[in-house]
Amino acid sequence: MDIKSVIRTIPDHPKPGIMFRDITTLLNDAKGFRRAVDDLVLPHVGMKIDKVAGVEARGFILGGAVAHQLSVAFIPVRKSGKLPYETHAQSYELEYGTDELEIHTDAIQPGEQVLLIDDLIATGGTAEASIRLIERAGGAVVACSFIVDLPDLGGRKRLEDLGIPVIALCAFEGE
């Protein structure tokens, strides 16, 4: 099965000229979803991974499934103000301003090896902020895995320049 063929493209969303890569069609396809999770897990089998971190919101779905398959704990990386306990926070730049991600202060023990999962890598800003957050909490990101890479936006290179291996199951040219 070609994962890319199960992902819907919505033109001009959220603004004109953007081709939105919608993975809800993949999630709604039982075989496609299973294949995607298996393909996200396979490169990491046998690696020392203590926890999987998933970025809100689609990264929760994928990361939870990957953590389950690897028999490790799951860490939700949330938007600011959504976690009920003490948090570490990391700001990052958006096209028109800034945003902030958080994890609980007790989510990671010093030295733990963390796999970061999200649905898509575009500019890499959210992923880099997540990496910084995990590192601030004492963890080490062993790899980042995504369903979709938008290589024209440079996110993969941005993370690889940080020394983080990046895996993406498919790529779409353009924005």
Give the active site residues. Answer: 58, 95
Cis peptide before 57 (omega within 30 of 0): yes
Give the residues across from 65 on adjacent strands: none
- Comparing CA positions, the residue from 137, 147, 117, 132 lying closest to residue 54 is 117
Question: Is residue 13 exposed (0-12), middle (13-18) or buried (19+ Cβ within 10 Å)?
Answer: exposed
Q: Which residue has the tokens 């600011």?
A: 80
Q: Residue 104 has which token pair? A: 């609980």
Instruction: Point out which residues pair with 121 in neighbouring strands.
Output: 149
Nearest residue to 165 (alpha-carbon basis) of 135, 140, 139, 144: 144
